[in-house]
Structure 1
Amino acid sequence: MAQADSKVLRLGVDVGSTTVKTVVLDPNTNGVLFTRYQRHNAHQAATVRQLLTEAAGRFPDVRFRIGVCGSGGRPIAAALGAHYVQEVVANAAAIRALYPQVRTAVELGGQDAKVIFFHYDETAGRLQTSDMRMNGSCAGGTGAFIDEIAALLNVPADEFEHLAAQGKTVYSISGRCGVFAKTDIQPLLIQGAERTDIALSTFHAIAKQTIGGLSQGLELTAPIIFEGGPLTFNPTLVRVFAERLGLEEADIVRPEHPETIVARGTAIAVDELFPGLQDAVTLSQALERLDHAPAQPEDAAGTGKPYFADDKERDAFLSRHQAELKQPVDAADRKVLRGYLGIDSGSTTSKFVFIDENEQVTDTFYANNQGEPLRVVRQGLMALAEKYRKLGIQLEVLGLGTTGYGEQMLSAAFHAD
């Protein structure tokens, strides 16, 4: 990283929907002296405090001009006594200062996606923003979208890139909405599609949504810069964009620290928008202001009215409803248990019921598919067989039937009717 050569440094803080980013700049060179990117898990102010405390340890007694941007930035800026910078303005400031050859910026965040269009103004002699497109309230095609599909596939979000990089087949998946995407993905999972292919298809859905739905017909002119956490930690996603846009390597700009470039732009924009040094403070002073600021709404999370007043009320509820459920009959007194098995492979869960020759339910099973319905059903059946083996009971399945989204797959796997 660059070395500081100014008595007053610049600090940019980007408080996003899922992460907080901080960048310390040398204002003489715009060189990065310190940078951090961290998920805040809905505790924005606490995460800002943590990152500023770390920076204060690196730069004791150094004064800073501070800018804050992002969807959660305005109250943090007020608490710090810092300047609030609109994030598109911050992004444009970074690109003008650092990457003036860029003509389009694609930025994906935790819950928002933006495409910014630039042109070079000959009269002004500088890069100018000509247009901007941003998604609405839905997080389709963003980092949260990736998190949601990763959860559906039962893989950690930080392993999603590894899956997608191995994908070969691209399926049609909606990138506009997570609910629609799940509707497309569930049948694919149940039909045995590889999770690697679904991960790759998810990236194609994001690129398709950004290029077609978000840009709204405006041409994404090269060179194109790719920014934000999802495009930093998922290089396969950048490759997918390049494939769909027909980009050569020379058309792609991969910035230094793309996950924190908007925070960097915020630090740059402070001097452009708010000249002067009268607002400079040490980070210890900024932290003191933050500690004495009114509590943010996030601190009230989880303080809603509980479902039950106490454990006694909850236990009474559970006992009452358990009593209303029809319990399976006890088959422990039999030497041989003959019966019929019915399996329902649904869109999100797998269920089966075993009934004896008198059509009495003896066992039931219900579990989340976890992205692998065949494995889940197999584990349930093995547990059923093991239960009766331990009881010394011979289990005989006289007939097996399947239904649901995964009916064909299960029928093929178990040779069912």
Structure 2
Amino acid sequence: MRIGLDVGSTTIKCVVLNDDNQIVYQSYERHFSQITEKMAELLRKIQAEVLNGAPAYLSVSGSAGMGIAQTCDLPFIQEVYATRVAMGKLIPDADVIIELGGEDAKILFLTGGTEVRMNGSCAGGTGAFIDQMATLLHLSLEEMNELAAQHEKIYTIASRCGVFAKSDVQPLLNQGARKSDISASIFAAVANQTIAGLAQGRPIRGKVIYLGGPLTFLSELRESFDTALKVKGVCPENSLYYVAMGAAFSSESAVDLDTALTNIEAYRGKSDFLSIPSLFRDEQEYREFQERHQSCRAKRGEIAQYNGKACLGIDAGSTTVKAVVLGEDCELLDSIYQSNSGNPVPIIREYLMNLYEQYPNLTICSSAVTGYGEELLKNAFNLDFGIVETMAHFTAAKYFMPDVDFVIDIGGQDMKCFKIRNGAVDNIFLNEACSSGCGSFLQTFANTLGYDIADFARKGLFAKNPVDLGSRCTVFMNSSVKQAQKDGATTEDISAGLSVSVVKNAIYKVIRAASAEELGKNIVVQGGTFLNDAVLRVFEKELGVNVIRPDISGLMGAFGAALYAKSRAKETSTLLPYEELRDFTHEVKVATCGLCSNHCRLTIN
């Protein structure tokens, strides 16, 4: 029996061939970075259920398989060569192979000699990219594929990596673009990225073969490649297993599986990754840290017992929508913080309806909105004021620290920092095309490792050896994380290391600060990302100062908008009354100007 293992960045593929080169066993599953555990489990199953005592000829391939194969003394075959071997046996007349994996992309030109084009350290346009986009759309990959088949138009979306693409996709969602059109646009972006980035002008002609998970499972992605290339590509039977089959075909010597399993299960990597000091020495130091930050609290009030005028503040952010209701003494009466699900309008309508129905004695005398969705919500609900995000966050920060001289807000995809001089904003620092170091950066890795963000963040608090990952973008960082895992880093070490990367990215790449003194001594931090105690701790340690984090850190934009509305309150608010909200229907359309395919304006009916 010949066994071929393809250990990729996100999955393990396996085939077992009999003496007639027929597949008698095959397996495809995600390893969630538990690579050696999955390999051992798979080989034990094959040993017990397939081999029945027969000798095993084994070869390992794949981007994540080389280190393990070398350490455990297993035969290894490079994946491009394995693909070429399998193609030569199964489809000898193929001219070009396009293969997409979890984090890698390849084009193999076979006619006139083999030439290989591969992506480098960027995973833009690969399976991981598509996974990120599906998560952003709140769709499974199957749903995304089905919707793409119903598309009517294609938008221009960057596919260099998930960070840039989110900046294109999120506004489309907020402005009501159909998910079917966005799904098809993402697939088109992947096809264009792969062809332009890898072929680099070399024509792709003849018999084109599609391999790898994304191209196997997503028929509309194949359709996008067909459209871009003006060909009809072929996705062959067992397209997921060509690397594994090539490894199996190349197996030449018998392997003692018992010895191999012992070596694989004992493999723990080199354990020589770069590490930094722990965030907290012990539980006592963490408790003192918590107590200090819990002292900065917003005044609270009981909305059920409140009978008077109130102000409403809304922050429609890139990934979340926040709203607060403030009483006449600036007491926080009520709030919400939740995902905007691509459209904040129904969320705010439901929230306002609940306020009117549950608290009839409450009178909203003034309202304001800030954030990405400012114009959308202001026009939809006749809110009194719109306020620039910077001023909303500065207003909130001044409430908690009147002499604040630096404010940093880290949200889901954006980062805002501003220097205060003489009570006015003196300088503003914003992340531009990249959201590395923002909330989505941590969210991506938490999801990849199978944790929700809260549990993942807690794991880093007492890590013994936080990994030094530097300050790189999400896509590049992924390779560093996987290498650290292979070298023995724990999930706790990685969680802490990523929190360090968030802070270093903010300080040295966005703010470009040379020293803590450059920022100031009276610093207020805010935004949902700073609710992560690990990020907050690293920020303080890196700057060597204690900062203020209000207990409503994630609500500061909405809180500042409410304070602004209160300062400009009129006798009556223009906010839609209950009767109009109850009968409120809305249709958000993305219109085009006729000159291009890009979305140009928003229409609300």
TM-score, normalised relative to structure 2: 0.58
- Is 1:136 the equivalent of 2:134? no
CA distance in 2, matches of 1:305, 1:381: 48
Q: Which residue of 1 aligns with 2:382?
A: 415
- Percent identical pairs in the alignment equals 41
Q: What's 2:209 paired with? A: 225
Give 1:194 shift: 2.1
Q: Equivalences for 1:253-264 in 2 at 5 Å? A: 253-264=234-245
| Shift of residue 393, structure 1, vs aligned partner | 5.3
Counterpart residue type for residue 232 of structure 1: T
Q: Which moved further from structure 2: 235-244 or 344-353? A: 344-353
- Tell me how far apart the structure 1 counterparts of residues 118 and 167 of structure 2 sit (CA, whole Å): 25
Gaps of 5+ in 1: 1-8, 121-127, 272-278
Structure 1 pair 371/319, CA: closer, same or farther in 2 (3 Å)? farther
Tell me if 1:295 matches 2:268.
Answer: yes
2:145–2:218: 8 Å Cα contact kept in structure 1?
yes
Partners in 1 of 2:70 and 2:354 — Cα distance? 58
User: RMSD between aligned alpha carbons?
Assistant: 2.7
With over 3 angstroms needed to count, the CA separation of the structure-2 counterparts of 1:68 and 1:384, relative to structure 1, is: farther
Q: State how many pairs are aligned.
A: 382
- The equivalent residue for 1:240 is 224
Q: Does 1:326 align with 2:298?
A: yes
Give the deviation of 1:320 after TM superposition: 2.4
Matches within 5 A, 1:137-156: 137-156=121-140
| 1:416 aligned partner, one-letter code | L
- Deviation for aligned residue 1:137: 0.8
Runs of 4+ in structure 1 off by over 6 angstroms are none
1:33–1:364 CA distance, 2 compared to 1 (3 A): same
Measure how far apart 1:153 and its partner are. Answer: 1.8
1:287-333 deviations in whole A, cap 9, x for unaligned?
Answer: 23423x43236x999x9876445555444433322321323444554
TM-score (norm. length: structure 1)? 0.83
1:34 paired residue number: 25
Contact 1:331 1:337 in 2 (8 A): no
CA distance in structure 2 between the partners assigned to 1:31 and 1:80 by the alignment:
28
- Does the CA-based 8 Å contact 1:342-1:352 persist in structure 2? yes
Q: Give me the whole-angstrom Cα distance separating, in 2, the residues matched to 1:151 and 1:307.
A: 31
Larger deviation, residues 397-406 vs 311-320: 311-320
CA distance 1:217–1:393, change in 2 (3 Å): same
1:3 equivalent in structure 2: none
**1-side partners of 2:278 and 2:348: how far apart?**
35
Question: How far did residue 343 of structure 1 move?
Answer: 1.6
Structure 1 SS opposite 2:157: coil
Equivalences for residues 4-403 of structure 1 within 5 A: 9-28=1-20, 30-56=21-47, 57-119=49-111, 128-129=113-114, 131-248=115-232, 252-271=233-252, 279-291=253-265, 293-296=266-269, 307-309=279-281, 312-334=284-306, 336-357=307-328, 361-381=332-352, 384=355, 389=358, 394-403=361-370
- Contact 2:107–2:118, Cα closer than 8 Å, also in 1: yes
SS of 1:154's equivalent? coil
Of 305-314 and 77-86, more deviation after overlay is shown by: 305-314
CA gap of 1:153–1:314, structure 2 versus 1, over 3 A, is: farther
In the alignment, what sits opposite 2:400? Answer: none
Residues 54-96 of structure 1 deviation map (CA, whole Å, 9 limit, x = unaligned): 2112212111221111111112223553211111111111111
Unaligned runs of 5+ in 2: 385-605
> Which of 1 and 2 has higher RCO (CA within 8 Å, sep 6+)?
1
